[in-house]
């Protein structure tokens, strides 16, 4: 059977990207399931707030995947060969913009909360939160307008300013979060003269940049593709996977605390400190001499060098003049 040919329309660039988007988002959903399972096994006594966050995010991702499955079936099952599917968006796409915005907002809210916990400066998380709220609001507006005014592809073209604002605000939030974390860690690095402590902070900085770069790149690539080639569906590849990028990065951050991801047993000493980005300081006081870095199963880091180590609340006192705030 020869391929469908419509004069003036490149059918492959309209249907092909959607196939890739569906497949990639299914793959990322599978990765997310594995990450959630590993998290549940590694942290059975996780704090209530984080448990609620993870399961709410996983529920939203499952709903998103369900609607994607319906959309793929309607387009490539009973809709196969129907040229209207090229210009009319299936009803199952209506909740996807809002779900994408909420999933990004959930992950970003978690990082904003950690920024406040680290800096204790209200203006910084409030500023980032306003940008985050903008992208969530515009994503809802985008989805509502398309649903009310019709699901024609031409309706999307009329919403180019709103779509650009949504994706730009999403990327801007990621950049602000990453920049804030790097700034906070850099300030902590300046307050210590310990080589191992500086090495740990360098790892935290690198981890923050890598995590933020993935989601920022996804949002920026999507907005660039939308602005330069919105007559095709290439940008939908990143639209369909954007929410799952945020969810997987969040779970990767949470799972980084587990010993299995550091290749060590709980309570063992390691000369290669992993990310303590979301560590909880539950200990009270410890006195002793440690020649390297000791990590426990919750990611709490105890660092000392032939000195008395006092761990009180959120701080580790190295000596009378060196204080390193972990979290």
Confidence label for 315 from pLDDT (cuts 50, 70 and 90): very low
Q: What is the DSSP letter of 274?
A: -
Give the pLDDT confidence of 245-294 residue by residue, as tens digits. Answer: 999 999 988 888 776 555 544 444 443 334 444 444 343 333 333 344 44
| Sequence ranges of the domains in the chain | 11-255, 267-327
User: Which pLDDT score, from 0 to 100, does residue 186 have?
Assistant: 80
Helix (H, G, I), strand (E, B) or coil at 304: coil
User: Which pLDDT score, from 0 to 100, does residue 26 have?
Assistant: 96
Give the pLDDT confidence of 35-70 residue by residue, as tens digits. Answer: 999 999 989 888 999 999 999 999 999 999 999 999
Q: Could you tell me if 299 and 283 are in contact, meaning their C-beta atoms sit under 8 angstroms apart?
A: no
| Domain 11-255: CATH architecture, name and number where available | Up-down Bundle (1.20)
Q: Kindly tell me if the per-residue pLDDT of 137 is higher than 50.
A: yes
Q: Kindly tell me if the per-residue pLDDT of 129 is higher than 90.
A: yes
pTM above 0.95, yes or no: no
Strand ordering across the sheet containing 323-325: 310-312, 315-317, 323-325
């Amino acid at each position: 059977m020869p391929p469908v040919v419509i004069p003036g329309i490149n059918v492959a660039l309209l249907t092909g990207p959607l196939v890739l988007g569906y497949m990639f988002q299914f793959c990322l959903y599978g990765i997310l399931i594995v990450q959630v399972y590993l998290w549940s096994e590694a942290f059975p006594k996780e704090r209530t707030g984080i448990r609620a966050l993870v399961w709410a995010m996983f529920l939203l991702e499952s709903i998103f995947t369900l609607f994607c499955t319906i959309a793929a079936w309607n387009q490539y099952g009973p809709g196969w060969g129907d040229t209207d599917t090229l210009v009319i968006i299936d009803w199952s796409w209506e909740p996807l913009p809002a779900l994408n915005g909420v999933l990004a907002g959930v992950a970003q809210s978690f990082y904003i909360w950690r920024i406040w916990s680290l800096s204790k400066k209200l203006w910084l998380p409030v500023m980032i939160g306003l940008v985050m709220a903008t992208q969530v609001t515009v994503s809802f507006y985008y989805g509502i307008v398309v649903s009310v005014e019709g699901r024609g592809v031409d309706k999307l073209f009329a919403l180019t300013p709103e779509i650009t604002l949504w994706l730009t605000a999403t990327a801007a939030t990621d950049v602000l979060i990453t920049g804030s974390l790097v700034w906070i860690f850099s300030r902590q690095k300046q307050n210590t003269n310990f080589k191992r402590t500086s090495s740990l902070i360098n790892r935290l900085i690198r981890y923050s940049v890598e995590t933020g770069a993935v989601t920022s790149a996804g949002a920026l690539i999507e907005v660039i593709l939308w602005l330069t080639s919105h007559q095709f569906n290439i940008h939908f590849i990143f639209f369909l996977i954007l929410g799952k990028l945020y969810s997987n990065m969040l779970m990767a951050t949470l799972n980084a605390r587990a010993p299995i991801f550091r290749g060590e047993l709980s309570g063992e000493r390691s000369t290669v400190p992993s990310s303590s980005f979301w560590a909880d300081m539950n200990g009270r006081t410890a006195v002793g001499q440690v020649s390297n870095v000791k990590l426990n199963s919750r990611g709490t880091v105890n660092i000392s060098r032939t000195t008395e180590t006092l761990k009180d609340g959120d701080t580790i006192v190295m000596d009378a003049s060196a204080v390193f705030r972990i979290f």
